[in-house]
A and B are shown apart, each in its own frame.
Chain A
Amino acid sequence: MHQVANTPRGRGVLACIQCGRCTNSCPVARVVQEHNPRKLMEMIILGLRSDVLSEQLPWYCLSCFTCLDRCPQGGDVGETIFAIRNLAVRQGNIPEGILAQAKNLFENGRVVTPSRMALVQREKYGLGREPVVDVEIVQKILRRTSFDRLINKGS
């Protein structure tokens, strides 16, 4: 629990009273039984580290923040999820889709890049040239935060 609480965005776990409002308000919990925000908080409190960080559990949340607004305690499940994810990726648990976005970010400065087709259309329809990203600055920042090493770990 304290490892999560000491991670940025994870402090809310200390305030959780297990009331379950988060689960009741969660749009994913309505369709996926395995995703139960209250139970996830309970698992963190009980220190079930490997269960919390393994496989799918960290990756069901939509970050819609409904639970954040409904939590009577400022317990922050929606925020705590980011703390869990930050820990999970350091164990190599990164979904492919996210890894692809991260690599794109490092190489091109953005998570989604326009296709060649989209660029041709842009010119054709008078939207001007492609917005330019200063990739060098992005890479400098991401090397400094060791982001590059983090994503190499996932691949």
Chain B
Amino acid sequence: MKPMKYAFFLGCLIPAREPQYENSVRKIAPELGMELVEMEGANCCAPFSIQSLDYVSWLALAARNLCMAEQMNLNILALCNDCYESLLATNTILKENHEVRDKVNEILADVGLEFKGKTDVKIFSDALYEDVGIKRVKDAVKKPFNGLRVAVQPGCHLTKPKRIHFKQQMGVIALDELVNATGAVSVPYERKDACCGGPLRGINDEVALRVAKQKLDSIRAAGVDCIVTVCPFCFLELDMGQLEIRRHLKEEYDLPVLNFADLLRMAMGMKLENWEIKAHRIPITKILNMAGAK
């Protein structure tokens, strides 16, 4: 069996805005034999906003988290697509480019650290697929969502860009299979690999909403019961975004959005708490009733 102990990288957005996602992961993981070790003192992954400002600051901050995992002698488990991208890209660049690595290590030396390139970065869905395995996930499903039609929203940085994702589309295939393992069906739709618009939040909200609308139009056309994602930005953009699109672009959808961890948790027979249900702007009541229904 593969080692299933991880340095648990929570990131900024999830504890601040989506504690229900964190809660689901903490509940599922031990049931599937995954051990999560807290990263005490870890800092922000340095997402795109920070990368936009300064290249070296980005790499140094991300590398500092990687160094922590190296010292723990563990691989990093990320929950957020953006954390995943930032840490994975930094890890790849610093492993491949010695000139940049030396420069970053010079900075890290000031805080007593050195990047050695001994850790790997995984995102939650990939860890479930590659380490836990579909069979074990399936075996853990006690209340399958039989017949639930799901639009999977992989989120861009689960698989893009391919220069750091050597397994290319595997992340999306893994997520599809994981959704299917809960008894639900991942339904294909036209703009599945397209961005949700989330990264432009706070920079250009209007454009962000118009991009989200393209996505939601395409999902609605596929005739699904709900959207399932692993990315906290996609979650916010597609869930809260529906309310804003209703207000500003006068288009109405009724597409509940769930994080995959929530879907799996329910399929494993663990109920969502009231506060977690209420954290969804688009009510998920009809989905709750479908766990183990048939």
- Chain A interface (Cβ < 8 Å from any Cβ of B): 7-9, 27-28, 30-32, 56, 59-60, 62-66, 68-69, 78, 82, 85-86, 89, 94-95, 97-98, 100-102, 105, 109-115, 118, 121-122, 125, 127, 130-135, 137-138, 140-142, 144-145, 147, 150-151
Known pairs A78-B161, A111-B49, A114-B16; A145 contacts B43 (CB<8 A): no
Q: Tell which of B40, B203, B210, B273 touches A95, judged by Cβ atoms closer than 8 Å.
A: B203
- Give every chain B residue within 8 A of A98 (Cβ-Cβ): 49, 52-53, 202-203
Q: Which residues of B (141-175) have their CB < 8 Å from a CB of A?
A: 156-157, 160-163
| Bound form: Cα–Cα A114–B204 in Å | 22
Most chain A CB inside 10 Å of its own CB: which residue of B26, B50, B100, B108: B50
Tell me the bound Cα distance from A111 to B44 in angstroms: 7
Contact between B16 and A112, CB atoms less than 8 A apart: yes
Q: Given the complex, which residues of A lie within 8 Å of B160, measured CB to CB? A: 64-66, 68-69
Least CB distance, B37 to chain A, in whole angstroms: 13
| A residues near B56, Cβ cutoff 8 Å | 8, 145
Expressed in whole angstroms, the minimum distance between the Cβ of B97 and any Cβ of chain A is: 10
Which of the residues B26, B108, B275 comes within 8 Å of A121, measured between beta carbons? B275
Task: From B17, B26, B111, give the contact of A127 (CB < 8 A).
Answer: B26
Counting CB contacts under 8 A, is B131 at the interface?
A: no
Asked if B41 is at the interface of the complex by the 8 Å CB criterion, the answer is yes
Contact of B61 with A by CB under 8 A: yes
Partner of A109, one of B43, B53, B108, B214: B43
Interface bin, chain B: 35 or more
Give residues in B with beta carbon < 8 Å to A.
10, 12-13, 15-17, 19, 22-23, 26, 38, 40-44, 46-57, 60-61, 64, 100, 107-108, 110-111, 156-157, 160-163, 193-195, 197-204, 207, 210-211, 214, 273, 275
Q: Among B38, B49, B156, B214, which residue has its beta carbon within 8 angstroms of that of A30?
A: B214
Q: What A residues does B15 contact at CB under 8 A? A: 114, 118, 122, 127, 130-131
Q: Give the docked Cα–Cα distance between A107 and B241 (Å).
A: 29
- Minimal Cβ-Cβ distance residue in B for A113: B16
Instruction: List 12 additional A-B contacts (Cβ < 8 Å) besides A63-B156, A141-B57.
Output: A31-B207, A62-B197, A66-B156, A66-B193, A86-B52, A86-B53, A110-B12, A111-B44, A112-B17, A142-B57, A144-B60, A150-B54
